[in-house]
Every structure is written in structure tokens, then in C-alpha cells.
Amino acid sequence: MQPLIELKSVSKTYGSGKKRFQAVTDINLTIQKGESFGLIGESGSGKSTLAKMLIGLEPPSSGTIELAGKPLWEGDKFKPQRPGEMQIVFQDPQSSLDPRMTVKEIILEPLYALSAGERKQKGSMERLQQLITRVGLKTDQLSRYPHEFSGGQRQRIAIARALITEPKFVILDEPTSALDVSVQANVLNLLKELKHEHQLTYLFISHNMSVIRYMCDQTAVMYKGEIVETGPIEDIFQHPRQAYTKTLLSSLHPLQAAGVNQAENHSNELSP
Amino acid sequence: MSVQTELLPAKRTVNPLWYKFRKNPLTLVGLVVLLFIILLAIFVPLISPYEPTKIHVVERFSPPSAKHLFGTDEVGRDIFTRILYGARLSLGMGVAVVLSAGVIGTAIGAVSGYFGGRIDQIIMRLMDIVLAFPSLVLAMAVAATLGPNLFNALLAIAIIKVPVYVRLARAETLALRERLYVKAAYTFGIKPWRIITRHIIPNAVTPVIIQVTLDIGDAILMVATLGFLGLGAQPPTPEWGAMISVGWKYLLDYWWYPTFPGLALFLASCGFNLIGDGIRDILDPKANR
Amino acid sequence: MLLEIKELSVEFQSIQGKLQALKNVSFSMDEGEIIGVVGESGSGKSVTALSILGLLEKNAKITQGSVFYKGKDVLRLGRKEQQQLRGKEIGMVFQEPMTALHPTMRIGDQLAGVIKRHRQVSSKEAAQLAIRSLAEVHIDHPELVAGKYPFELSGGMRQRVVIALAMSAPPTLLIADEPTTALDVTIQDEILKLMKELSVKRGTAIMFITHDLGVVARLCNRVIVMYAGEVMETGITSDVLHRPAHPYTRALIGALPDWADPNEPLSAIPGETPNLFNRPAGCVFADRCPQALPLCREDRPALEAYQDNQEHRVACWVR
């Protein structure tokens, strides 16, 4: 089966001469259609640089990136086959929404990369209302501005915006890192449901091991610009082979280490 | 403190703009003065029985009285009436000239900053050339070259004001280009012109507005200066600078003639500056003190 | 008892009106104890710390309550005495280390400056003590790092330097507000170990403010759970985490993806945090609580012992 995303020996270097900095080195990666692919790494691991190369913000220095078998980059020019096929949700919902636009304008904005016909069809009021209610906001909130919303609500707006073009592939760059735990749970649930409903493929970037474990079925661990380990999520979490992965895992489940078991908490009492 | 901003509810009870405006008495003074002048200028045909250019030699050099509030000039025209018609001209021109410089400059600056590279280099060197000259000297040179009339004076002032806005908008654009929401728009595949007009310019407009209000007072002074030097509006147009230019020769004998237009000029430019300061304080709290 | 906070209430004056950020917050700390203050944004955990330190902004007003540090009410102290207390007795570490460091001064000089202020030593000795304090926070090649400027260091290194600065007095109480939140997980781990070690070695009490229950589990003896400016539950960490008494604490633990079955949705807390401009009459969590009774909306529950455990206290009617 042809992978949806394929990276072949992708590298990225910034600067030249003495200031040369290799951000990403020789990455080979395939993401199959329908997968949730988790990319784990700490700051400086190159995971954000990878996302930038996928979404068109930074050209790779060498190697090829393909979406459904078609290269995304022609030299330094980003040439996706069809605009809107790929979308991204950024970490910081404060700064990823234009403060001078209403929620409606924000969500419809990606459609301006499409043809007029497609724009009309996908940007219908009916579809917009459906989408906004689906992400958990009310239709009368469409005329509000981003500053009137909480962090979690803003991230929901960003998710609605990413889905308006009916993408196949969505990059989630630390989508819940800036949110509170209780809000995070809501957003993660929403993302899982949406993936199912729209047959999406996710690249989920995070430094949070438990979020990746919960959300993804495949994963790759990045360290200093390289992928040190990759495979199905259970393999990586149960039988990590690399020392670095083991270190990362040791920071996981501190509550379990302290003997806390969720079952004891009768958390099921909470679900109404 | 972030702790409290998280708690703010979505609905606002007081308009914070108005709240800040109220707390700034000097801005209010500026606002009141200007509104007063503007209202008088609008309703002058109702207030004054005189016409601004009608000669009435018999009444020449009448001192201020109930009949002629600010006295009359060397051909008997009512100075009060002429000042108010002049206000239409001066305020209108000041606003028009700065607005057009602001619009043109912002557009050029945003394009220059967004694309960068060679276009940016050329534009910025051109602006540097304009900025290298003292503004008044340049305005005089342009006005004198094009011929002394009101329109050319306005053109000259606009030309010297444009680079200020180009630089401002460019700097703002460079910062905005790095903002996540602009980058996000780019990742959607939005074309540059739309990114510039929809995302960059609306967000760069605050410092431009501040600069515009601060510049209007200055522009009014410049219009008057060119008028005073004979490079702007020509007599008998009731323009403040031109009035002062003729009137100052009579200062010792007929003090009211140059004094009242001068006073009007002072109040108008002061008013705009106060408002400009106030708006800057409100819109740009970082520049506060 | 080292620190005792009694019925502390804080109000913020803003354009929209008065916002009650803290309401009747009470808890205490013993010497050498590591206590975790945990809550989400808007819970008032940082405001609590700032009140103790006398660092609240001008628009904040302490409307009620007292904070006793070694028996002295710090809220009634003058500016100067408060400042002295902050320098000598109470150390601080914040989330962003750059705010605590002088950007254009070498690390060694900054440390030596603080050391000289608190001890009668020569400049040379202070410089040496500075290097030693860097070694104590496990910085490799402390002599080298002492000669560097803050911007030349990584985030984790900077936070170590800030801890070294805070510990150089050395303080009896260290207040740390989300000190590891901006750091990578592996570095966060090291910083936590370091803080625990320093606490044991020097007998420093630590008030650790965080949103992360995992950090609390690893570091703290006791925990205070805050929500919307009120204390919901307090107790020995293992008690609170094993047998959470408050529905909010339970919900918070349940919302973590750590144990969740990937095939099941996470149990999230419905609704939004309450409007602090206009507090509900009853329990602040009632609107989002799955177990709320009619009583919960009428009357505010007091913090009382849970299942006869005097250490474990909860503010909830459903006990």
C-alpha cells in the first residue's frame, strides 16, 4: 500500500560555515493512511523543524517529502498538489488565531487557497454551523473574536479551521501542551472522535509520553535531529530498545510509581 | 499578571477604551478644543453673516468688537469668519494629506517588509533619500518646483510624510511575518496579497493610527508654513498661514490681524497632538512613560 | 510550624470590577517539609505564593487573613522588612529563569553578589563560594559556567543557576512556582531530584506550585489542591492521590491520559471554571460536579477531616 506520507533521507541545516547547524539528519519515515503517528521528542530534537518542512514553512536541505506519492517540494518552492489537503494545529492557540478576525472569518480563511467553486461548496453556512457545533462551540459564537475565548475554546476554533478544507492529513503540533489537564482531556477526546468521523491521518507531535500513548498507534522518538527508535506504540512503550527512550519512559507514570491506580479513584462515578 | 487574565469572563461590562480615555484629562481637553473648532467650522455660514472673501473697505482694520469678533483685515473682511473658513481648509488638508501619506506609506511598507529582498532594498533606499533632507526644506523645494498653489503644497507635504509610514509599516510587517497566525495563513496556501491585506495590514494599523493623529498637527503647521512663505494657498483664499503672512506686517498697529489666525493654528495643532498622545497611551500601553 | 496561612482572601481590582482570586485560603507548613500546591490556571496557586512574598501587583488587595512566618505576620511587615525576609529567609524560583537573572552580568558575579550580601566574606571567597554553589546544583565545570552570561546557557542550566541563587542565602523556605514547566521532561526530572536533595541536605522547606500531579507525586510530602481560588482538599500526598476525597481531585486524576485505555474516551470535566467576579453562593465546583446535591449550590462546605483522618481534609458536602 502506498503510504500517505513518505520522507526519504530528509535533512535540514541552518546557516553555513562555522554557524552551520544541523537541525534534522537523514530522516526516513512513512505514515500510512488512517494512522495516528506520534512524534516524540524534547526541545531541540528537530520535531518542530520536521513539521515545518511538511507544512511548507521550511524547505528541506536534502531528501524528498512525498504526500500520496507526489513530492511536496520542488527545490525551495512548496508545491502541494491540492491546497487544503494538509492542515496543521499549532501548540499555542493564543497566537495562532488572527486577533482582528471573527471566529467565522478565521475558520473560513483556509478556503481562500481553494478555487472559488470549492470555496462556496465547503464554506456554506450550513457546513460552518455543523463544524462549529461539532467542535463544541455555539453558532452564535461565530461573530466573536478570539480574545473572548479560553485557551481550550481557541484550540477548538483552530481544529475547526483545520478541518474546513476537508484535509486528509492533519499535523497536530503539541495541540494540548498549553492547556490545563481537564481541558486537555476534552480536546484529546474531540481529536480522536474527529479522526474517526473524517478518516483523518494524524501526525501528533508531543513531548508528553502519556498523551502520545493514548492518541497514537505508531510512533517515532527523535533525539538531536535523528529518529532513534520507531515502531508500533505498544512495542516502544513495553520494550524500549534505546537508552534515550528508556530515560523518557522513566519520567512517565509518576502517579503509578507512587501507587496511584485510576481504578481506585472510582473515576467512573464522574462520567454522567 | 497571567493569573487574572485567565479568569476574565468573555463579556465586558465597561468599554476599556473609554475607561482609559476618561483617565487622561489632557486628551479630553484636546478633544473638546478640536470638536469646538470643527463644529464652528461646519456651522460658520449659520454663525457668521459675513463672507470670507467679500471686500468691504469701509470697515477695514476695525478692532475686535461685537460686530466683528476678531476685527477685520486691510480690506475689511471679518477675521473671525475667515479663520473659520480657514479651519475647514487647514483641518481638512491636514487630515487629507496625512491620511493619504499613511495609506500609501503603509501599503508600500507592508509590501516591502513582506517580500523583502531586492524590492525591499530599493524601496528603503528611496525612502532614505527622502528622509535625508530636512522635511521643511524638501517640502519647500517640491512646492516651489511644482509651482505655488494649494494642491502642490499638499503633494509636497504628502511626499515628505510617506517614508515615515513606510518605515513604520515595514517594521511592523517584519514582526508580524513571524507571528504564528500569519505563518498559519501561509501554511493554508493563502496568496501573498491576501496575507498582506487581510492579516498584516489590519494588525499593523494601530501604530499607523497613532502616527497619523500625531502627524496631523504637524501637517497643519506645514500647510500654514508653506502658505506663510507664499508657496501654498494664494490670497484671497482664507488660509491661516497666508493670513498670518499678510497680517504680521500690521502686528504693531492692528494686533488682532495676525494674532487670531496664529492662535487658531496653535489651538488646532495642539489639539491634535494631545489627542495623538492620548491615543498612543491607549492603544500602545508599552510606550507609556 | 514554619508557615501558617489563615483565611487569606485576595481581590483584584480591574476594569470589569472586583475579582476574588483567593477566598479563605488556609494551610500550614512545617520546617523542612515539601508541600505541593496544585491547581489549574485560575486556581489561585500563584496568587497565594505572591501574597506570601509580598509581591502582589498594585491592583491586588488582601481583603482578609494573615500569613504567619515563624510566628510573625508577614502581611503586616513594612516593605523593607518584607524585602529582607525575601532575601534571607524565603527564596523564590519562578517558571521563567531569565526573569530572575541579570542579563548582562556573568553567572559567577551574580552569585557572588548575593553571597556577599548575606555573609561576611571577601570578594575572593564569595567568588569561590559561588563556584561551589554551582557545583552543588550539579553543574559540570562550574568554573567555566561562572564566567558565562545567562543567554549562553540552556533553559535547564539557567533554572539550576536560579536555584543556586535562591539557595545561596540559604533560605528556610523556598517557594517554587512552576519551576520545571518550561523544561524538557528529562531535565525536569533532574531538577526535581536536585530540589529534593537540597531540601533534605539543608532542611529547607519547599512550597512547590504546579499544575502537574505527577510532579507532586514524585516530590511532595503533602499536597494542597486548589480550585477557583479556594482549597478543595489537603493531605498527605499518597492519601490524596490514592483516595481522593473531593470530586474535583478525582476528576483531575481521571482526566490524565496516563492510564487511560486508548479505546475509551478520557473522563473530562464538563463545563468551565466559574466566574470569579461573581462567585456562586455554594461550592465553587458544584456546577461541574457529577455528584452535586442541592445543598452544594446553597452552602459552601468547610474544609473538614475526611474519614476521621485529621491530616486529610476536604471541602465537600458529599463525604
Cross-strand partners of C207: C35, C175
Among A83, A90, A113, whose Cβ lies nearest the Cβ of B180? A90
Render pLDDT for C193-205 as a digit per residue (tens, 0 to 9).
888 998 999 899 9
Distance CA B99, CA C260 (A): 60
Query: Contact, B221 vs B228, CB < 8 A?
Result: no
Architecture per CATH, domain B25-38+73-287, reads as Orthogonal Bundle (1.10)
pLDDT value of residue A261: 53
In angstroms, rounded to a whole number, what is the distance separating the alpha carbons of residues A6 and C130? 52
Which residue type does C80 have? K
B286 interface with A at CB cutoff 8 Å: no
The per-residue pLDDT for A263 is: 43
What is the model's pLDDT at position B287? Answer: 52
Euclidean distance between CA atoms A25 and A10, whole angstroms: 7
Q: What CATH number matches the domain at C3-89+169-314, 3.20.20.80, 3.50.50.60, 3.40.50.300, 3.40.50.720?
A: 3.40.50.300
Instruction: Find which of C241, C246, C287, C288 to mutate to test the A interface (most A CBs within 10 Å of its CB).
Output: C241
- Model pLDDT for residues C5-40, shown as the tens digit of each residue: 999 999 998 777 888 999 999 999 999 999 999 998
User: ipTM of the predicted structure?
Assistant: 0.87
Cell numbers that stand for C249 in this block: 481531585
Phi-psi region of A166 (alpha: psi -120 to 50; beta: other; left: phi over 0): left
CA dihedral B40, B42, B48, B50 (to 10 degrees): 130
pTM of the entire predicted model: 0.84
Task: Please state the domain extents for chain C.
Answer: 3-89+169-314, 97-168
Query: Given A96, A100, A112, which is nearest B202 (Cβ)?
Result: A100
Is A207 in contact with A42 (CB distance < 8 Å)?
yes
At residue A212, the pLDDT reads 94
Q: For B111-125, how does the pLDDT look when each residue is reduced to its tens digit (9 = 90+)? A: 999 999 999 999 999
Which DSSP helix (H) or strand (E) runs through C50?
helix C45-53
Please give the average per-residue pLDDT across C185-214, as a whole number: 89
**Phi, psi values for residue C185, rounded to 5°:** -55, -45
- Cα–Cα distance, A47 to A172 (Å, whole number): 11
Task: Check residue A107 and give its pLDDT.
Answer: 96
Q: Report which secondary-structure segment, H or E, holds A218.
A: strand A218-223
Give A158-200 pLDDT, tens digit per residue.
999 999 999 999 999 999 988 888 889 999 999 999 999 999 9
User: Confidence band (pLDDT; 50, 70, 90) for B6?
Assistant: very low
Are the beta carbons of C242 and A259 separated by less than 8 Å? yes
Residue partners of A121: CB distance under 8 A and separation at least 6: none
What pLDDT is recorded for position C275? Answer: 78
Report CB contact under 8 Å: B3, C44. Answer: yes
* B6, B9, B14: residue with CB nearest C15: B14
C-alpha A49/C-alpha C137 separation (Å) is: 32
> Which of C208, C267, C276, C319 is best to mutate for the A interface (most A CBs within 10 A)?
C267
Contacts of C188 in chain A (CB under 8 A): 251
Q: Output the pLDDT for position B76.
A: 83
CB B98 within 8 A of CB B251: no
Cα-only R_g, chain C? 21
A9: pLDDT strictly greater than 90: yes
